[in-house]
Structure 1
Amino acid sequence: MMPHDSSRAPRVAVAGLSARLLAQSAARAGLSVVALDIFGDRDTREHAGLWFDIGKPDGNGLSIDRARLYDALEHAARLPRMLGLIVTSGLEPLANELSRAPGVPRFIGNGAQALAVRDPRRFFALLDDAGIPHPDVRFAPPAAPDGPDGPDGPESWLVKRPDGCGGTHVEWAGDVDRTVPRAYFQRLAQGRPMSALFVAAHREAVVIGFAEQLTVAAGRLPFVHAGSLGPALLPADTAARVSAAIEAIVWKTDLTGLNSIDFLLDGDDFSVLEINARPSSTMALYETVWPDVWPRGLVGAHLDACLHGALPPVAHGCAAATPPPSLFAGQRVVFAPEAFTVSRDFSDACFADPACHDVPLPAARIDAGMPVCTMTFTAPAFAALRDAMEREHARLLQRIDTLSRS
């Protein structure tokens, strides 16, 4: 924990595996921020007046300690001018519980509403009822009459855990114990991984923008989240059909605030993968590209929707104030090529670099394959954005190599 500031602004608590992005957006909204996460990165602490460590005491794995979480939330609830709690990736399984728990800040987002999209049996039945396309789903292990690589073999199927996040909940069906509780099986489908960020209230939704999702393979995990590029410009008809699917889902579930939908785009066709019933990391793309449209950050839009039922103006299913982008933004998670301890020089160099975010503290231990930081970049076109992404990624890996041991 670190001392909180003396600001008289309203407070908001933001919590997740990493709270930096929410803390940054909330600070843009003029709020005093209380951040709860497992990293305590330098720029998280810069945007937050208070930070609480909610990671496992032994530092083992990327997981949240329940007792620490509730202790921190009870402390935050006693602070003056506390508006409430916004959660992001990592706290989805506790959303309904937190929305009803006594002694913690008011929950701002989806509590019970999230159950309809987190439960795969309910969610895919909802999609079928609404005529919304999705890859084949089953709740028993796939058979393999045509061999492991055949159309019904385990190599053609993924197994997903509905309470996971960031791609760490997705594995090849042939690589896991078939008795994984609550897991479901989804057929591998063609298409470019995409997402749409939207804000909802009173069973209506407004699309903020579309983004291309980046993934990497990590050991047994084939699709670990590695960043995003956006806003992606979809054909008008395709964008309208995805927006209509979002509107149908929101009508049936009463989702509120910022949410995102993951889908595959194959030509003009799309198929829905899942809903993230909380603010998504892609919000950073739209705040970067359209700062004048979202001067209070997208956390401001989330608060307006959740607390006041207010949505931004809409035109053709999307936020009306968003002009055609003259700039595109990208973010790329950098994973450690090998284990290292963060040096003071490395941490200082990253903290001084405007392209670098989620900056680790000196002496932090980062295991091989774990996230080091997030690089962000802008360009006037998608092709230039991809080039910048590769260039910035290579530069950060070189920095790790040259400064991590100094």
Structure 2
Amino acid sequence: MSSRPSLSHAPFVAVAGLSARMLAQSAARAGLRVVALDVFGDRDTREAAELWFDIGAGPLSIDATRLVAALERAARLPGMIGWIGGSGLEPFVTQLCRTRDLPRLIGNPEHVNAAVRDPQRFFALLDALDIPHPAVAFARPADGSIETQHWLIKHADGCGGTHIEPVSMPGAAHLPAQAYFQRLSSGRPHSALFVAARGSARVLGFAEQLTCRMGTLPYVHAGSMGPLGAAELSPVVEARVRAAIAAICARTGLIGINSCDFLLDGEVFELLEINTRPSSTMTLYETASPEAWPNGLLAWHIEACRHGRLPPSEAQATFAVPAASEVSVAPVAPVMPKAHPLAAWRAGQQVLFAPRPFLVSQSFSDACLRDPCCRDVPMPGTWIEAGQPICTLLVRAASLPAVRHALEAQRALVLQRIETRHEPDYAFIQCHS
């Protein structure tokens, strides 16, 4: 049973994605009633939400029909202020924006999303703004100059690194819609999280992205660490990235929480893409400085999208939740306490992938749910194949080296749980006979 206080008069918000846990927890922290739509139905997702809908078409994919049907049901809830999309909804944005009888989208409208997610428009914009990026191509050159080891093929409607593949030779001269070639660069992946409204942006911080190889996919998202300080990100680079984000927001009209992915090689940065949705790195800032965001960052996503308000640069900010009767009548008024120095904590999150197939036992699930460093805790009886995500590890420490050490220790602990917390053999037989 959830330990959250009664919210019987608070408005509803729907959150959707491959995993809705992060959004659901942040929305609940803001005092909202949550409807979660995802493919996992993890225990902590259900704990943060009053309702959960399964929108899966398989272990790691979304069914468009189930997604639309669930949003239609959510729209009928009293006091529903809208829905917020997370990772995995990229292929469905156009359909959802054009479907009637859904809750209001709290996020970037279709034309704004297209301005930065359509690769031909986006890289043309970067060139016009003189923002550096790796070389791109939209058709295989006839002279065969694209060599496998130097180029990648990317799908702009993908996410989590599963949309990035090595170029196979030979191949078709033209690419499918939303795909493009991009030249490999030597930089390391980073991201900046920002809130946008009315053509302006407030950068919340910078993070280092963690990736891993999964089969033939070389850059699968595996987590992040941050916020980065001056020791990890020079003021010169920070200023350049901030300027690039400001220019893009001024030209496109992005709203709400978005993230900017870029490569960093020394003081040379190259912009990769803009994710037009709340990024998983939100968790880093809520974890590293909970006193700065006592009501969660999603509250400021809603403020920016509905009322064009940006969070203060260096102040705590709390979020006044409207009563259900006020949802469509009055703007939400944020409360801004006095600014104070934030503790220099860092946070890290890492997706733990299964080293072998296993059945999630009640004991394993309970142990992870009690563990403050585990998120996305699977339900007992879940069958997890090798290479699929088990859970997300989340730690806080005083430095990035300490974060790395804590993640390794937590990883070892959870893997040990897999080996020691088994159900009796008959549980396996019942589930898989």
Which TM-score tier does this pair reach, normalised by the shorter chain? over 0.9
TM-score by length of structure 1 reads 0.92
Contact 2:374 2:392 in 1 (8 A): yes
Select 2:109's aligned residue among 103, 108, 111. Answer: 111
SS in 2 for 1:314: coil
SS in 2 for 1:30: coil
Q: Provide the residue aligned with 2:357 in structure 1.
A: 339
Q: Provide the residue aligned with 1:248 in structure 2.
A: 247
When structure 1 is superposed on structure 2, of 169-178 and 11-20 the one drifting more is 169-178
Q: Provide the residue aligned with 1:205 in structure 2.
A: 201
Q: Distance in 2 between matches of 1:22 and 1:280?
A: 9
Q: Provide the residue aligned with 1:238 in structure 2.
A: 237
Q: Provide the residue aligned with 1:153 in structure 2.
A: 147
SS in 2 for 1:106: coil
Q: Provide the residue aligned with 1:314 in structure 2.
A: 313
- Structure 2 CA distance for partners of 1:257 and 1:249, relative to 1, 3 Å: same
Q: Which amino acid aligns with 1:40?
A: G
Deviations 1:206-243 (A, max 9, x none): 10110000000000100000000000122222111100
Cα drift, residue 174 of structure 1: 2.1
Q: Which amino acid aligns with 1:103?
A: D
Q: Distance in 2 between matches of 1:158 and 1:144?
A: 17
Q: Provide the residue aligned with 2:376 in structure 1.
A: 358
Q: Which amino acid aligns with 2:374?
A: C
Cα drift, residue 340 of structure 1: 1.4
Cα drift, residue 404 of structure 1: 4.6
Cα drift, residue 137 of structure 1: 0.5
Cα drift, residue 294 of structure 1: 1.2
Q: Which amino acid aligns with 1:205?
A: A
Contact 1:345 1:404 in 2 (8 A): yes
Q: Provide the residue aligned with 2:8 in structure 1.
A: 7
- Structure 2 CA distance for partners of 1:74 and 1:142, relative to 1, 3 Å: same
Cα drift, residue 166 of structure 1: 0.2
Q: Which amino acid aligns with 1:259?
A: N
Cα drift, residue 403 of structure 1: 2.0
Deviations 1:234-253 (A, max 9, x none): 22221111000001111111
Contact 2:225 2:284 in 1 (8 A): yes
Q: Distance in 1 between matches of 2:364 and 2:207?
A: 31
Contact 1:96 1:110 in 2 (8 A): no
Q: Distance in 2 between matches of 1:312 and 1:62?
A: 34
Aligned residues: 392
Q: Distance in 2 between matches of 1:323 and 1:125?
A: 40
Cα drift, residue 142 of structure 1: 5.7
Contact 1:336 1:371 in 2 (8 A): yes
- Structure 2 CA distance for partners of 1:399 and 1:143, relative to 1, 3 Å: farther
- Structure 2 CA distance for partners of 1:123 and 1:325, relative to 1, 3 Å: farther
- Structure 2 CA distance for partners of 1:325 and 1:159, relative to 1, 3 Å: farther
Cα drift, residue 66 of structure 1: 1.2
Contact 2:139 2:175 in 1 (8 A): no
**Runs of 4+ with deviation above 3 angstroms:** 142-146, 175-180, 320-325
Cα drift, residue 352 of structure 1: 1.0
Q: Provide the residue aligned with 2:79 in structure 1.
A: 81
Q: Distance in 2 between matches of 1:400 and 1:322?
A: 43
Q: Distance in 2 between matches of 1:142 and 1:77?
A: 48
Cα drift, residue 324 of structure 1: 5.6
SS in 1 for 2:297: helix
- Structure 2 CA distance for partners of 1:390 and 1:34, relative to 1, 3 Å: same
Gaps of 5+ in 2: 315-337, 425-433
- Structure 2 CA distance for partners of 1:108 and 1:339, relative to 1, 3 Å: same
1:86-235 alignment runs, 5 A limit: 86-112=84-110, 113-141=112-140, 152-174=146-168, 178=172, 180-182=175-177, 183-233=179-229, 234-235=233-234
Select 1:370's aligned residue among 378, 388, 397. Answer: 388
Select 1:402's aligned residue among 420, 426, 431. Answer: 420
Q: Determine if the alignment matches structure 1 residue 385 to structure 2 residue 385.
A: no
Contact 2:17 2:37 in 1 (8 A): yes
Contact 2:17 2:87 in 1 (8 A): yes
Q: Which amino acid aligns with 2:238?
A: A
Q: Distance in 1 between matches of 2:91 and 2:298?
A: 21
Q: Distance in 2 between matches of 1:358 and 1:162?
A: 26
Q: Which amino acid aligns with 2:20?
A: A
Q: Which amino acid aligns with 1:22?
A: L
Q: Distance in 1 between matches of 2:29 and 2:54?
A: 23
Cα drift, residue 96 of structure 1: 3.5
Identity over aligned pairs, percent: 58
Q: Distance in 2 between matches of 1:144 and 1:400?
A: 52
Q: Provide the residue aligned with 2:280 in structure 1.
A: 281
Contact 2:263 2:272 in 1 (8 A): yes
Q: Determine if the alignment matches structure 1 residue 62 to structure 2 residue 80.
A: no
Contact 2:355 2:387 in 1 (8 A): yes
TM-score by length of structure 2 reads 0.87
Deviations 1:136-157 (A, max 9, x none): 11112367868xxxxx411111
- Structure 2 CA distance for partners of 1:291 and 1:175, relative to 1, 3 Å: farther
